[in-house]
């Protein structure tokens, strides 16, 4: 199951408390203060990781905590600083502070952002001694670590996005172009989440079937339309045996426009799938129709190696 949106509470570590202590040993009956300082609480950072592709880690982990600093001790012993907590997320993750509304995006493994700062360690009573106060009986408590509630939203970074109505052949195409094994069946909404594969060292994302009204929340499309925004090339799959292939094409284009009009400016390739289900007359009609629409098309039958090789060649040139 693809988890691409979660809300997580982040809690940085509290600082350790300073100590109240006075030097006492066989040689010193009433020595001066020797209470040590507490250690700093751990910070919480978020970093990008290329080997993670979902937010599944946070499906059940709704709170992420850093450790607290260690309390100071006698003999001027300083408490140990806590280790920082590192949260790894997939590249393409947008992090939003739900209180301030500020957000940033993780697009590189070099990206590292401080989410919550740990509390400072409290000072022990040794820090408060002076010429006028030689035996202070007070110390400082450790600072409270910051707590933030954040939203993590993943937008898959893919070079190629396969789009189209349900049952247009996207999952089948992904399976033959890559080593991916998406669920394939002859009914709508077989694909319930984006599937990823690698073709020619480029990532292909099979976007779950869009339908009319997807941009307004109908069907599955509104949940996954955002993943199309990161693609370099859109491969628009249309069932050539459909009774309304041009209407099918326009339906998806309309949903893209209503979701984000900039999607219409992306480089696009139209692939008419299931070529084996139509005759030569229907094929020529489709060629003429899409030519009038000034759209370059590629016919594809998964049972025809030549058509598949031709598509691979065109894809390779396009990316």
229 and 304 share one domain:
yes
166 and 306 share one domain:
yes
3 and 108 share one domain:
yes
Higher pLDDT, 232 or 121: 121
Cα 177 from Cα 315, distance rounded (Å):
10
Question: According to the model, what pLDDT value does residue 171 have?
Answer: 85
Q: Label residue 2 by pLDDT band (50, 70, 90).
A: low
150 and 57 share one domain:
yes
**CATH number, domain at 41?**
2.70.210.12
Q: Label residue 1 by pLDDT band (50, 70, 90).
A: low
Cα 170 from Cα 239, distance rounded (Å):
10
Question: According to the model, what pLDDT value does residue 167 have?
Answer: 81
171 and 150 share one domain:
no
- Number of structural domains, the chain? 2
Helices within 42-123 (DSSP H only): none
Longest CA–CA separation in the chain, Å? 108
Domain final residue, candidates 154, 182, 214: 154
80 and 143 share one domain:
yes
15 and 141 share one domain:
yes
Mean pLDDT of 46-63: 87
23 and 2 share one domain:
yes
Question: According to the model, what pLDDT value does residue 215 have?
Answer: 45
Task: State how far Cα 95 lies from the chain centre.
Answer: 9
45 and 105 share one domain:
yes
Question: According to the model, what pLDDT value does residue 279 have?
Answer: 94
CB 110 within 8 A of CB 83: no
10 and 84 share one domain:
yes
Higher pLDDT, 128 or 156: 128
Candidates 212, 172, 192; CA nearest to 302 is 172
Cα 66 from Cα 290, distance rounded (Å):
58
**CATH number, domain at 214?**
3.40.50.300
Cα 89 from Cα 72, distance rounded (Å):
35
* pLDDT at 79 exceeding the cut of 50: yes
As beta bridge partners, residue 233 has 160, 267
Query: Which residue has 């954040």 as its token pair?
Result: 150
User: What is 149-205 written as a DSSP string?
Assistant: EEEEEE----SEEEE-STTSSHHHHHHHHSS------SSTT---S-EEEEETTEEEE
Q: Label residue 226 by pLDDT band (50, 70, 90).
A: confident
What does pTM read for this prediction? 0.72
CB 149 within 8 A of CB 9: yes
Residue 312 structural domain:
160-318
- What tens digit of pLDDT does each residue of 169-198 get? 888 898 888 875 544 444 444 444 677 888
CB 49 within 8 A of CB 91: yes
Domain final residue, candidates 133, 154, 175: 154
Domain final residue, candidates 154, 173, 207: 154
307 and 222 share one domain:
yes
Cα Rg of the chain, angstroms: 30
121 and 186 share one domain:
no
């Amino acid at each position: 199951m693809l988890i691409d949106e979660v809300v997580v509470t982040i809690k940085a570590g509290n600082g350790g408390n300073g100590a109240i202590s006075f030097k006492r040993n066989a040689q010193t009956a009433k020595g001066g203060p020797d209470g040590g300082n507490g250690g700093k609480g751990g910070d919480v950072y978020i970093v990008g990781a290329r080997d993670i592709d979902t937010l599944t880690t946070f499906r059940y982990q709704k709170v992420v905590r850093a450790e607290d600093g260690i309390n100071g001790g006698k003999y001027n012993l300083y408490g140990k600083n806590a280790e920082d907590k590192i949260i790894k997320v997939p590249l393409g993750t947008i992090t939003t502070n739900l209180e301030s509304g500020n957000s940033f995006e993780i697009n590189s493994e070099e990206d590292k952002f401080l989410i919550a700062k740990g509390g400072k360690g409290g000072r022990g009573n040794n820090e408060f001694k002076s010429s006028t106060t030689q035996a202070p009986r007070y110390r400082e408590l450790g600072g409270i670590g910051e707590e933030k509630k954040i939203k993590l939203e993943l937008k898959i970074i893919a070079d190629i996005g396969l789009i189209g109505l349900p049952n247009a052949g996207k999952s089948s195409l992904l399976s033959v172009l890559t080593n991916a094994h998406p669920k394939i069946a002859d009914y709508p909404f077989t694909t319930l989440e984006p599937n990823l594969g690698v073709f020619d060292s480029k990532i292909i994302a099979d976007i779950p079937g869009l339908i009319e009204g997807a941009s307004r929340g109908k069907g599955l499309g509104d949940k996954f339309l955002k993943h199309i925004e990161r693609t370099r090339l859109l491969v628009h799959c249309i069932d050539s045996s459909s009774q309304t292939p041009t209407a099918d094409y326009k339906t998806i284009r309309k949903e893209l426009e209503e979701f984000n009009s900039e999607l219409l400016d992306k480089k696009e390739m139209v692939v008419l799938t299931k070529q084996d289900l139509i005759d030569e007359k229907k094929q020529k009609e489709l060629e003429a129709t899409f030519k009038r629409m000034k759209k370059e098309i590629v016919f594809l039958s998964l049972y025809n190696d030549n058509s598949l090789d031709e598509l691979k060649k065109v894809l390779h040139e396009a990316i």
